A and B are shown apart, each in its own frame.
Chain A
């Protein structure tokens, strides 16, 4: 690196969050990252499930009780929302990568669709969970 670069001349920055009016494609992009980080924690909870299963009946029962507690259920509901949001929006990204739906109108519509899908699918799964006695 040259001395001129080391001196740390102020580089131009792209506009940040405070500059933009909120719009739905921006919200969907941020939600994709946030749900991805939430699912990172969710996968670690999944690994904990596998480890508690291998550790025997007592630790498995304790782990299940923890996930079934009010706080555990709240976390599981958040993870359900994150799962369906990240799944739907991930497919939206794959469609974009294939070169489709990149115009503003399609992008706005698909963002709204993915948000709605995440909510409806999560509520449906929890309705099933209550019906089969999983909660």
Chain B
């Protein structure tokens, strides 16, 4: 069968995977979101460090606090997954080790993110709400 594609057309797309820019932009969008969230987080840690369990539970039951805390932790885990991924890709060049570390990084971030957000919602919906 005769191919009607030009040599240039066949060569195109054989270079980069063309999705690297998505990682780069994702890391920066997370960074922008984390600027206000981190400043709020410092304020939150100061409040929580001065209080006990009952205070923390009542505090996290307020919708704004629960939402911002879940976002702070969620966006942090998203951003640190991107960051550590770049570090692994920069320093680890052995394919098997690199793949293992990238998968471990992803699993740790997703597990810690899911656990912390579920924990916040559990306290907000049960203990703190009563």
Q: Which of B8-16, B79-87, B96-104 contacts A (4 or more CB under 8 A)?
A: B79-87
Do residues A90 and B53 form an inter-chain contact, with CB atoms below 8 A?
no
A34 to B113 CA separation, bound complex (whole angstroms): 22
What mask results when residues 32 to 58 of chain B are scored 1 for a CB within 8 Å of chain A, else 0? 101100110110001111101110110
**B residues less than 8 Å from A60 (CB atoms):** 53, 56
Flag A49-63 by CB within 8 Å of B: 1 or 0 each: 111011011001100
Number of A-B contacts (CB under 8 A): 90
B57 CB contacts on chain A under 8 angstroms:
53
Binds B, one of A21-29, A100-108, A109-117, A126-134: A126-134
User: Which A residues are in CB contact (< 8 Å) with B46?
Assistant: 125, 128-129, 132, 134
Instruction: Offer 8 A-B interface pairs, CB within 8 angstroms, sorted by A.
Output: A37-B87, A43-B80, A51-B115, A80-B42, A94-B32, A125-B46, A129-B49, A132-B46
Across chains A and B, which 3 residue pairs bring their CB atoms closest together, nearest first?
A54-B119, A134-B49, A47-B116
Give residues in B with beta carbon < 8 Å to A.
Answer: 28, 31-32, 34-35, 38-39, 41-42, 46-50, 52-54, 56-57, 60, 69, 73, 76-77, 80, 83-84, 87, 108, 112-113, 115-120, 122-123
13 new A-B contacts, CB < 8 A, other than A50-B115, A54-B122, A90-B31, are: A43-B76, A43-B80, A46-B73, A46-B76, A47-B116, A50-B117, A50-B119, A50-B120, A57-B53, A61-B53, A90-B34, A94-B32, A125-B42
